[in-house]
Structures are given as structure tokens and as C-alpha cells.
Amino acid sequence: MFHQRTWRRYFADLFKRILIPLLEDFELTVSEKMETSNNLVTPLLTDLYQITMAYAYWKAGRHEDHAIFELFFRKCPFKGAFTIFAGLDEALSFVSSFKFTSDQLAYLRSVLPDAEDGFFEYLGTLDCSKVQIRAMPEGTVVFPREPLLWVSGPLIVGQLLETTLLNLTNFPSLIATNAMRMRMAAGKDKVLLEFGLRRAQGPDGAFSASKYAYLGGCLATSNVAAGMLTGIPVKGTHAHAFVQSYTSFDDVKNPMLGPAEGGDPVDFLQSVKDIRKDLGLEHTNDSELAAFTAYALAFPKGFLALVDTYHTLESGAPNFCVVAAALVKLGYMPQGVRLDSGDLAQLSKGCKALFKKMAETLSMPEFLKFKVAASNDINEQTLHELNEQKHEIDIFGIGTHLATCQKQPALGCVYKLVEINGKPRIKLSEEVVKVTVPGNKRLYRLHQESKEEEGKTEPALDVLVMADEQPPQEGVEYECMAVGEGLDARKVTPTRTEELAPLVWDKENGCVASAPSLQDRREHAISQVDSMKPEIFDLFKPEPYQVFLSPKLHGFMTDLIEMNTLGVTKDAKKRRLS
């Protein structure tokens, strides 16, 4: 919550306290920093048990032990086979500004009254200068068990980062994936707009939804604040209330409009009435036509009308055509209509048929270029059903189901310790999917020649290798070991190898990566999807993309499982792990 601050005061305070200091550390523009910062994101945006563990580490003298944590998920969302990684910009912004304030430390003293004063004094000295972070680039297509972030550094700091990093990457990745799935369901030739502000979970949820839906493939948002802060294009027309507010032609107070290329203004309202009479459309709703006329007078260069206030095909669409014809006569190019209720497929066909008829009747080919936009509680299933009905919608405005991810409200990323003081650690479970892959690792994506398109390479699989072993080489056969029951090892000769998670934060050694623009991250996400096998992105029966282990890592993990299982033999415990 924003504690009753006005937006102006909020952003002025944000700029003064956070953005200006951060510019010294990041090669980012002011607008980018405003995009990636939030005054709620502080070291206190965490679970209490992170603080209690931190005190226990400090009390035991283990707080400076070197640890490696990994952030990953176990299952793709929406019953799919892929995820779009997002939220890294917010994560790095948090890491760059990580510092407890005196007020925050005073509050923690009240929460942990029995903790020693030295602990709070130590917390006051902490920052992320000794932390290293490797991460997937935002917009990368990622898969279960692959680390999205590697966090390496002092145990206490890595532990304190956990909850916040999960918060900053879980929802963004879910939203970006949801948007990409809807983009695929709609079709690449369709335009997707994010309209979820009014139904989102508060202002922060709305802002994140707008930002990461754009990264995931939406073209624009209705959220004006998000547009200002991120540069996302903003789109919108008018509501039913605008149409209802007009009761007669008398409500159109200033009917004069000049031609698009300049010249004397004409009585635009009278022109509308004349065209309506000539077309024999005097049965349509007068007040609706008055509203459309007024809106066209206000926005002659981008006229798009909501046509379902009274009756879409009997009144709304014909009234739009009358006003559109008057605009075309003056040299303007109207945009089209929006549908927000009813049988969207049939209504879209009816509107397009009317546009075609008007183009012939009025000898105005411009009508053939008019678009049909649709909203009305659209979700992924709705898009599939509309496709089956062979709709003629060009633009989709998607709100509730996109911004809130109603189909699946959480991604389920986790953050696990995999190494302490150079010793690999493993978390065991009777569920194979919950067994962690231990140790310091690197992740590679291996590409091969496409079987479908000559001369094109595409990702074949991803493989985790130990950090100190030879990575896969181009043109050299490489054996990959599967994780889980019923999965086979695989040999592949890659034509190209790609390390997926570069170092993005190592302030102590001068590595502070700058964030690409949001537009670049969006283009990366789209290009990632376009470069991979389409079967992975099938929305009904996707083909799983496999993540393998190197033979050395697989053997190491197997030995470590045996050593940490109750009842293991002495021989197993003595077995070498290297």
C-alpha cells in the first residue's frame, strides 16, 4: 500500500532517495531506474525466518561462510512446457540498493528483543558488494530445474536475499509467460493489448502486469502510469458511459471540423446527418450517433468507437460507419470498432461485412482497412474458441485473465542452497522433482541443425555441468544424462553451444551489468520463442524440452544422494565424489 501518498509525492520521494544514488552504480537512464524501483522493496520485504536464521548464523560465527544459492522452478505454469523469465531488472535494482536503514534496524530490535546489539550493528554494515550473481537474460525461454539466478557470497547475505528475489521474479515470469501464451493463442498477426489495471491486485500488481505483459508480447497497455514510467505504448478508446452521457444531437456543442490537410472548417454534425440520410440509416440510435460524432470531433485522427451500448449491428456499427464516412470525406483515416459483449465471433464477421458493403456503396476503399477490436473477459480458452469460429477480430484487449493470471496464480519458484564453503549440498525428497542438483554449476543450451528448415539451427536440449569441468564443444559428440525415472541418456553433437547465465553482478570486481531496454527484452522473448521447436509451445499437448546433466555431475549427484540417505553402506560413503 502507498499509505495515502499522492503519486506525485511518491515518485518525487522515490527519485530523491533511491534513483539518484543508484545511477552511480548502474549504467541506466533515469527513466529505466524509475521503471525498476519501488519504495516497498527494501531488506525488510522478507519473511521473519530469514532474519532469525541470519541471527543464528551470526551467533554461531557462520555468517561470513561462502554459500551458493539457486533460484528455479520445478514445473512450468498453465500446464505448459515453457516459461519466460522476467524480473531480473527489479532483482538487480534491489541488490544494488540493499542496505538496512536505522529505522529498519530499530524495528528489528523490537521484533527480536533478546538478540544481541552486535547483531544489529553488523546488519547495518551489510550490502551486496561481496555478492556475485549469474542470471538468465530477461525474456529467455526457460525450463524446470534450470537455475534462473545463481547467488554466490556470504551466507547471511544470500539468505537475506531469498524472499525478495523470489517475490521479484515469480510474478513477472508468470505474467510474461501468460502473455506469451495468449499471443500464441491469438495468432502472431493479431494485436494484444493489456487492459488489466482495474482488476489487478493493487497498484503494484497492476504495474507489474502491464510491464511484464508487454515483455511477454502485448503491444500496449491501458495503464497510463505504466506507460509514463516504462515507455510502453498506451492505448484506449471510450467506455459505455461516454455514449450514455449523450441524449440528443443538442449535446454536440461545437460541430465544426477542418479537413485533415487544412482548410475551412465544415459543420461535421450536419455532414454526419446528411450521410446517414443518404444511406437510409435513420433507424439507428440518435444519442449514440451524437456521442460518436462528438468523439470523432475530439479524435478525428484516431477514431475508434465502442459499438455495443445499444445494439451492435443494428445501431452501433452503422452509426460508426456514418461518422467514419464523414471523416474520410475530410481526409481522415478512422481506426475501427470495439466489441465488448455478445457473440464476438459473429459480431466481428458482421462488422467486417458491413465495412465491405460500405466500401462499395460509398466508393471508399478505406473501409476495408478498418479494424475490429474485442474485449469482454477474454482468456486463453476464449481465444481458441474464437479461432474455431473463424472470427474476424484484429485486436484483443485482455484484462482480468491476463493481469491476475486466473488460470494459475503463482509460478512456484524456489531458492535453494547448493554449496557451502566449497562443499556441495543437496536437498533430498521422496519426490524426484524436489531433489535439488548440488554444487556450483553452469548451464549450456546446445543447438543442432533444424529438421524442418534447411540452414537453420535450433535448441536441442539444455545441460547442466559442473563449474570446473570442460563444457560441451561445438562439433564434438556429448553425452547428456537424464534426471528422473523413465528418462534416457542422450548423445548430441552440437553445432553451437550457448552459455545461458552470464555474470550480471560482481560489484567488488567492477561488474555491474546495465539492463537492456524493456523493448529489447520484449524482442528477446519473441525471438527466443521463434527460434525454438514449435512443438514446445503447443498449447494443448506440448512436447517437453529436456534439461540434462553432464555425466560428471550426474555421477556426483548420485553419490551425494547415497551418502545422505539413511542406511547407506560404508563403501558408498567412502566413494569418491569427484
Q: What pLDDT is attached to residue 512?
A: 79
Give whole-number Cα distances, 371 to 191, 242, 289, 394, 512, in Å. Answer: 11, 21, 19, 6, 45
CATH (domain of 516): 3.20.140.10
pLDDT-above-90 percentage for the chain: 83
pLDDT at 36 over 50: no
Measured in degrees and rounded to the nearest 5, phi and psi for residue 235 equal -135, 150
Same domain, 488 and 355: no
Q: Is 257 in the same domain as 369?
A: yes
Q: What is the pLDDT of residue 419?
A: 97
Q: What is the pLDDT of residue 435?
A: 87
What is the structure's pLDDT at 566?
A: 54
Supply the mean pLDDT for the chain: 91
Cβ-contact 339, 375 below 8 angstroms: yes
Average pLDDT over residues 225-233: 96
User: 428 and 368 in one domain?
Assistant: no
| Conformational region of residue 411, where left means phi above 0, alpha means psi within -120 to 50, and beta covers everything else | alpha
| Cβ proximity of 91 and 38 under 8 Å | no
Query: Cell digits for 400?
Result: 482480468
Instruction: Scan for cell 560441451, then name that residue.
Output: 472
Q: Are residues 208 and 301 in the same domain?
A: yes
- What are 235-294's pLDDT values in tens digits? 999 999 999 999 999 999 999 999 999 999 999 999 999 999 999 999 999 999 999 999
* Residue 398 grid coordinates: 485482455
Residue 309 sits in the same domain as residue 379: yes
| 353 and 473, same domain (yes or no) | no
The answer to whether residue 13 is domain-embedded is: no
Contacts for 561 with CB less than 8 Å, ≥ 6 apart: 426, 428, 435
Residue where a domain terminates, one of 404, 431, 452: 404
Is the model's pLDDT at 3 over the cut of 70? no
Question: Per residue, what are the HEC states of 99-122?
Answer: CCCHHHHHHHHHHCCCCCHHHHHH
Q: Which of 404, 434, 459 is the last residue of a domain?
A: 404
Q: Is residue 43 part of a domain?
A: no
Q: Tell me how far apart the alpha carbons of residues 289 and 38 are, in angstroms, rounded to a whole number.
A: 45
Looking at per-residue pLDDT, the higher value among 259 and 561 belongs to 259
Average pLDDT over residues 533-537: 95
Q: What is the mean pLDDT of residues 46-64?
A: 98
Which is it for strands 457-466 and 441-449: parallel, antiparallel or unpaired? antiparallel
Q: What is the pLDDT of residue 41?
A: 95
Based on the fold, state whether residues 188 and 211 are members of the same structural domain. Answer: yes
pLDDT of residue 201 exceeding 90, the answer is yes
Range in 143-147, 399-403, 488-492 with the lowest mean pLDDT:
488-492
Q: What is the model's pLDDT at position 574? A: 42
Per the domain annotation, does 573 fall within a domain? no
Please report the sign of the dihedral spanned by the C-alpha atoms of residue 198, residue 200, residue 201, residue 203.
negative
Confidence of residue 559 (pLDDT cuts 50, 70, 90): confident
pLDDT (average), residues 526-546 = 95
Instruction: Give the chain's domain count.
Output: 2
Based on the domain organization, do 281 and 370 belong to the same domain?
A: yes
171/209 same-domain check: no
Position 363 in a domain: yes
- Choosing from 382, 404, 426, the residue where a domain stops is 404
pLDDT at 331 over 60: yes
Based on the domain organization, do 96 and 213 belong to the same domain?
A: no
- Pair 255, 112 in one domain: no
Tell me: pLDDT of 29 over 80: no
21 belongs to a structural domain: no
Tell me the residue range of the domain where 200 lies: 180-404
418 and 440, same domain (yes or no): yes
540 is a domain residue: yes
- What's the sign of the alpha-carbon dihedral 15, 17, 23, 28? negative
Q: How far apart are CA 289 and CA 157, in angstroms?
A: 64
**Does residue 495 have a pLDDT over 50?**
yes
Q: Would you state the pLDDT for residue 342? A: 97
Stretch 25-47: mean pLDDT:
61
Tell me the pLDDT tens digit for each residue of 141-170.
Answer: 999 999 999 999 999 999 999 999 999 999
Q: Which residue has the higher pLDDT, 403 or 452?
A: 403
CB 193 within 8 A of CB 398: yes
pLDDT at 358: 99
Mean pLDDT of 382-391: 98
pLDDT at residue 18, rounded to an integer: 37
CA distance 524 to 527: 5
Q: Which three cell numbers stand for residue 447?
A: 543447438
The pLDDT value given to residue 509: 84
pLDDT of residue 486: 59
* CATH number of the domain within which 205 lies: 3.20.20.70
Residue 218 corresponds to which cell in the numbers above? 502485448
Task: Tell me: pLDDT of 12 over 70.
Answer: no
Q: Are 318 and 308 in contact (CB under 8 A)?
A: no
When pLDDT is averaged across residues 334-360 and rounded to a whole number, the result is 98
Q: Flag whether 570 is in a domain.
A: no
Confidence of residue 514 (pLDDT cuts 50, 70, 90): confident
Residue 348 has pLDDT above 80, yes or no: yes
Higher pLDDT, 127 or 513: 127
